[in-house]
Structure 1
Amino acid sequence: MFTKKPDANGASLHVAKPASVGSFSVIGSDVVITGDVSASADLHVDGRIEGDIRCASLVQGEGSHIEGAVSAESARLAGSVSGSISARELVILKTARIHGDVHYDALTIEQGADVEGRLAHRTPAEPARMGDGEPKLTLAS
């Protein structure tokens, strides 16, 4: 966290290094993106995306709309998605409106969420399974 650097007189100074902070990107509510979005970091979407999304972690705001496929390690969806979703850990909040197939390792759906499509646990050929490999489904109230 600290390094020693000599000053002009040769004395050692302690200089603080910034702590490593995870990065994230925000797409504001006034932003419309037409085209695919790929992020190595976490992504927070409040606007509209017309294209596929690939990221480490996705958080979707209530008023946002995604028209395309979503692929993420973890996703927390509160807006509308028209397209397939693939996530290791997926949380669908009560305000979410999903129209497309959903592939997951662990799934939580709040009461009131609207999902039109097929829910399917990911197959062994798909990315890493969690824990003992058994499907995980949680219904939140």
Structure 2
Amino acid sequence: MFTAWKNETAFDLAPKPAAPAASAPTQVATSHKVDEAGRADAPKDAYSIINEWLTMRGELESDGDILVKGRVDGNLRCRMLIIDKGASVEGTIEAQDVVVRGCVRGTIRTKRIFLEKTAVVDCEIFQESFGAEEGARVKGTLHGSDDKTKMTVVPERRTAALASLAEASVTELFRDANKAPQAAKPSSTLYNMLNTARVANGSARGA
């Protein structure tokens, strides 16, 4: 039977350095507000991206902005929603601002909504401010802020400003040098709907 002995070397005999004392945790001050549940508010530049190869089903909620390049089947709630060209959303949308370049089907509740010329919308829309470029296809019902069914056209200056806001947001996301959108023009379909509503209102008043 053989017994192996460990040779003591200079490395073994050398005193081991003392472990450094644990430093006190450093507290970093943040400017985000914290609600009663302990959740911080999303910063102004907070955003999420649903990529073109991604399909999400179910409830989706964010305190920041969401850019949809893929597909969402379900309800979606966020601060600002941009549905990109080629993307689709089917469900209920609740957001402060909505910009549509793709396809939407369901219900939209928002303060401001803008449809670009590639938009295809089949929705019941509850809004305070509405704008659309010529070429956008709209089917459904448009409700004003007073919850009465009515059609409104946002002045061209307002729609252009909202389009610029959306384009700037996407530019920040991808750092692309996108060109600013041209001044928006209300769709002819929306004008026909508006004229029909005006004639109906005039007939009702005359009666």
TM-score range, shorter chain: 0.7 to 0.9
Which residue of 2 is the match for residue 100 of structure 1? 123
Match of 1:64 among 87, 96, 115: 87
TM-score (norm 1): 0.74
Deviation digits for residues 27-50 of structure 1 (CA, Å, limit 9, x no counterpart): 000000011111110000000000
Specify the SS of the correspondent of 1:22. coil
Higher strand share: 1
Deviation digits for residues 4-54 of structure 1 (CA, Å, limit 9, x no counterpart): xxxxxxxxxxxxx9xx76210000000000111111100000000000110
Deviation digits for residues 50-71 of structure 1 (CA, Å, limit 9, x no counterpart): 0011000001100101010111
2:92 and 2:70 map into 1 onto residues whose CA distance is: 16
Which residue of 1 is the match for residue 114 of structure 2? 91
Paired letter, 2:45: G
Match of 1:30 among 44, 53, 68: 53
2:44 and 2:138 map into 1 onto residues whose CA distance is: 35
1:67 and 1:86 map into 2 onto residues whose CA distance is: 14
Q: How much has 1:120 moved relative to structure 2?
A: 1.2
1:85 and 1:21 map into 2 onto residues whose CA distance is: 23
Runs of 4+ in 1 over 6 A off after TM superposition: none
Q: Which of structures 1 and 2 has the bigger CA Rg?
A: 2
Q: How much has 1:137 moved relative to structure 2?
A: 2.2
- Number of aligned residue pairs: 113
Q: CA RMSD in A?
A: 1.8
2:146 paired with 1:123: yes
Q: How much has 1:100 moved relative to structure 2?
A: 1.3
Percent identity, please: 26
Cα separation, partners in 2 of 1:21 and 1:137, compared to 1, 3 Å: closer
* Unpaired stretches in structure 2, ≥5 consecutive residues: 1-29, 31-42, 157-183, 186-207
Tell me which of the two structures has the higher relative contact order, counting C-alpha pairs closer than 8 angstroms and 6 or more residues apart. Answer: 1
Cα separation, partners in 2 of 1:136 and 1:111, compared to 1, 3 Å: closer
1:76 and 1:97 map into 2 onto residues whose CA distance is: 12
Q: How much has 1:136 moved relative to structure 2?
A: 6.1
* Unpaired stretches in structure 1, ≥5 consecutive residues: 1-16, 125-134
2:59 and 2:120 map into 1 onto residues whose CA distance is: 21
2:140 paired with 1:79: no
Higher helix share: 2
TM-score (norm 2): 0.51
2:110 paired with 1:49: no
Which residue of 1 is the match for residue 132 of structure 2? 109
